[in-house]
């Protein structure tokens, strides 16, 4: 299956380069190439698009403004020279953020992430959105629905979870499960004693932390996820500081 995409950038050279990269990806079909956000908004109001590859800093209507203006939103991949927009782009649920100059390898990675999302969404679209927690006296596991049926996982088996918009991926040592539950709703249902949100797109099992740096959390089995500054501070205050060995004991 080929997915319909739209290119939006007010810089002609960069717009042409991005179009050239995308034409090499067989799963994508470019329906239009737009020189600004207003032109793209007109097309999106009349045409069904799967993925939008958009610059952010554009006159009249920015890439983020374009995303916010659409009722039925396609997936957005932002491609911009301004790295400071990264946090804001994830706040509006962009599927990826690419810093210019955008190489073919990086564009391909972003495109594959969007394609994976669309493929997984088709697979789980018929599964009800439910996570079943264990009874309080046996609270070491939970159940969830996936395409093959109802699956049981112990909390300790979960290493981290990744948001894919309105569904999530759950990673264990050897498996990855896809469920039709948003990361926001997982956070509400799973026990805070085990799990912590570390990023707009990631939640981790605190018991699997091996190393915490300024920008990443390293987990068991060589998994690494990004951590935001605010979530890092919260993790330090609520899970790590009280367990750090002190040089001096009062």
Dist. CA 68–CA 84, nearest whole Å: 19
Tell me, yes or no, whether 101 and 53 share the same domain: yes
Mean pLDDT of 134-158: 80
What b-and-e string marks burial along 14-30, b requiring 16 or more CB atoms within 10 Å of the CB? bbebbeebbeebebbee
Tell me, yes or no, whether 10 and 69 share the same domain: yes
User: Token pair of 113, please?
Assistant: 């992430």
Tell me, yes or no, whether 114 and 143 share the same domain: no
H, E, C per residue of 30-49: EEEEECCHHHHHHHHCCCCC
Tell me, yes or no, whether 140 and 45 share the same domain: no
| 54 close to 48: Cβ distance less than 8 angstroms | no
Any domain includes 248: no
What is the distance in angstroms between the CA of the first residue and the CA of the last residue of the chain?
66
Range of the domain at 93: 3-124
**pLDDT, position 149:** 80
Which domain CATH number covers 41? 3.40.50.2300
**Element (H or E) spanning 230, and its range?**
helix 229-235
> Quick one: which of 115, 85, 95 has its CA closest to 162?
95
Tell me, yes or no, whether 65 and 83 share the same domain: yes
| 93 close to 103: Cβ distance less than 8 angstroms | no
pLDDT digits (tens, 9 = 90+) for 238-247: 888 777 777 7
pLDDT digits (tens, 9 = 90+) for 83-140: 776 666 767 778 888 989 999 999 999 999 999 888 887 776 655 556 655 544 457 8
| 226 close to 199: Cβ distance less than 8 angstroms | yes
Tell me, yes or no, whether 33 and 106 share the same domain: yes
Tell me, yes or no, whether 35 and 120 share the same domain: yes
pTM: 0.68
**pLDDT, position 219:** 96
Percentage of the chain lying above the pLDDT 90 cut: 56
**pLDDT, position 133:** 59
Tell me, yes or no, whether 12 and 84 share the same domain: yes
Any domain includes 211: yes
| Residues composing the chain | 250
Tell me, yes or no, whether 77 and 24 share the same domain: yes
pLDDT at 39 over 90: yes
> Quick one: which of 64, 57, 115 has its CA closest to 94?
64
| pLDDT-based confidence at residue 250 (cuts at 50, 70, 90) | low
Q: Give me the number of domains the chain comprises.
A: 2
Tell me, yes or no, whether 104 and 83 share the same domain: yes
Tell me, yes or no, whether 87 and 180 share the same domain: no
**pLDDT, position 167:** 85
Any domain includes 249: no
Burial of 37 (0-12, 13-18, 19+ CB in 10 A): buried
Which domain CATH number covers 229? 2.40.50.1020
């Amino acid at each position: 299956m080929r997915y319909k995409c739209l290119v939006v950038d007010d810089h002609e050279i960069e717009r042409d380069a991005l179009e050239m990269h995308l034409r090499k990806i067989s799963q994508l079909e470019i329906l239009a190439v737009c020189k600004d956000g207003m032109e793209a908004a007109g097309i999106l109001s009349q045409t069904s698009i799967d993925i939008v590859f958009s610059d952010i800093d554009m006159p009249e209507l920015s890439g983020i403004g374009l995303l916010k203006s659409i009722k039925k939103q396609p997936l957005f991949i932002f491609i911009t020279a301004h790295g400071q927009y990264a946090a804001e782009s994830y706040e509006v649920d962009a599927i990826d953020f690419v810093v210019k100059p955008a190489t073919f390898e990086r564009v391909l990675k972003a495109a594959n992430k969007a394609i994976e999302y669309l493929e997984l969404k088709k697979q789980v679209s018929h599964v009800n959105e439910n996570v079943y927690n264990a009874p309080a006296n046996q609270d070491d596991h939970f159940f969830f629905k996936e395409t093959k049926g109802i699956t049981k996982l112990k909390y300790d088996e979960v290493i981290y979870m990744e948001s894919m918009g309105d569904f999530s991926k759950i990673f264990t040592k050897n498996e990855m499960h896809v469920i039709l539950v948003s990361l926001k709703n997982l956070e509400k249902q799973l026990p805070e004693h085990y799990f912590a949100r570390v990023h707009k797109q990631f939640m981790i099992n605190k018991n699997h932390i091996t190393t915490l740096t300024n920008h990443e959390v390293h987990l068991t089995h060589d998994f690494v996820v990004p951590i935001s500054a605010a979530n890092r501070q919260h993790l330090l205050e609520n899970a790590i500081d009280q367990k750090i060995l002190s040089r001096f004991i009062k």
